[in-house]
Amino acid sequence: MSDSSRSVPRGRVRRFGKFARLAGGVAGNMLAEGAKQVASGQRPKARDLLLTPANARRLTRQLSEMRGAAMKLGQILSMDSGDLLPRELADILATLRNAAYAMPERQLDEVLTEAFGVEYPSVLTDFEQKPFAAASIGQVHRLRSARGQPAVLKIQYPGVRESIDSDVDNLAALLKVSGLLPKHMDISPLLTEVKAQLHEEADYKQEAKYLRAFVKGLGSDERFLLPRVITSLSGSRVLGLTYVEGVAIEEVADEDQEERDRVMSLLFELLLIELFELGLVQTDPNFANYRYNPETGQVVLLDFGASKYFPDTFTTAYLDLLASAIEGDRMGMAAAAETAGYSLGPEGSPYREIVLDLLQLALEPISCGEAYDFGESTLPMRLANMGQQIQGNKEYWEVPPMYAAYIHRKIAGLFLLASRLKARVNIHELVLPWLD
């Protein structure tokens, strides 16, 4: 989290002005860089001028200051596995995952007064003014519950909920006009779903319901540690939770190979439980949503705002897809993929074969039949290269079905973490019980 605080810009006009200045600044940087390259005898390409370090800094700084849907959409796009965005843009947006500013005290006072009344200092015991975490939609403060136990309070940034639709439209327009998104790409289904997801994430009462559902579904599994909702401290824009002890999940990298493998196996198994048992998936793969308790070996689960119920029709089709991939049955894969909502193109078309190749490649860790070494894997690079082939078939290419897109994001995040931990996981073995 940034050490400095910045006011959250409020109102459509003011936030649109931020986007306009961002676009103007990016264009100005392009002109300056272009003039410099022409003067040195080079013939610069527009794409290279867009993706300069100066534009990267401008884009991430501005979205970090705006927070809300603008920053969240950047985070969502950054988790793309290579078949949607230019890799360079995804890397730029990836810096948004932990780049939020805190709001100043006057805005914090405004939100707390609205939630608890002017006497809120007497309601919030040992409340720490400085947040210990800040993200796209809100920030988190330490305090104590009425029983004197350590607790945290999630506080939503003012104006975030009201600016979701306009923010998403403005950022999408900026990326489209700038050329950072391919002109032929129709991302309207993605934008519609992103808006719906963000409206739900901005309702902390809904997040509390999701957390209670996960506690009910996983509460007896002692391998996981989940916070509990403090009802007296919760509303639609504030969420009180019991404090759960843990360190950053990345610190598991300091453990021995066996423990790294165990923790990562547990996270992959959790996805299978979410998808095929609970039908409820926490779709945000941000590392900050996981922590690790080194004393107990438990995985701590946090932040359930981006959870999503999945229909049985999709989960059944996706399980059939996994089974067919393991068996090497391409006809079965095609049938399951189309049932799940993938667009494969006409029978016998090169595009259809490329999509099936891509799915088969993406499922390599599941179908290999042994422990998969994520630390040595070149799978992301191979997927990105094949994704470029799909974009070349403009007449057939479509955005993946939304439920599949959520799973892609979650798997991409787990793959990234497994690579960071240099873990070896036999995912094939984890999936087999579900196939039986």
- Beta-strand pair 290-292/299-301: antiparallel
> Among candidates 236, 175, 248, 182, which has minimal Cα distance to 205?
236
Mutual angle of helices 402-421 and 312-327, in 10-degree steps: 50
Catalytic residue among 284, 312, 357, 436: 284
Known catalytic residue: 169?
no
Q: SS3 of 101, please?
A: coil
The CA distance from 84 to 185, in Å, is 9
Residue at token pair 């809100």: 138
Query: CB of 296 within 8 A of CB of 233?
Result: no
Q: SS3 of 375, please?
A: helix
Length of the chain: 436
The CA distance from 268 to 285, in Å, is 12
Each as own residue / partner, the long-range contacts of residues 141-148 (CB below 8 Å, 24 or more positions apart, any chain) are 142/243, 145/230, 145/233, 145/240, 145/242, 146/232
Query: CB of 79 within 8 A of CB of 412?
Result: yes
Query: CB of 414 within 8 A of CB of 407?
Result: no
Query: Kind and range of the H or E element at 300?
Result: strand 299-301
> Among candidates 164, 195, 193, 165, which has minimal Cα distance to 400?
193
83 burial via Cβ count (<10 Å: 0-12, 13-18, 19+): buried
Name the β-bridge partners of 375. Answer: none
Active site residues: 284
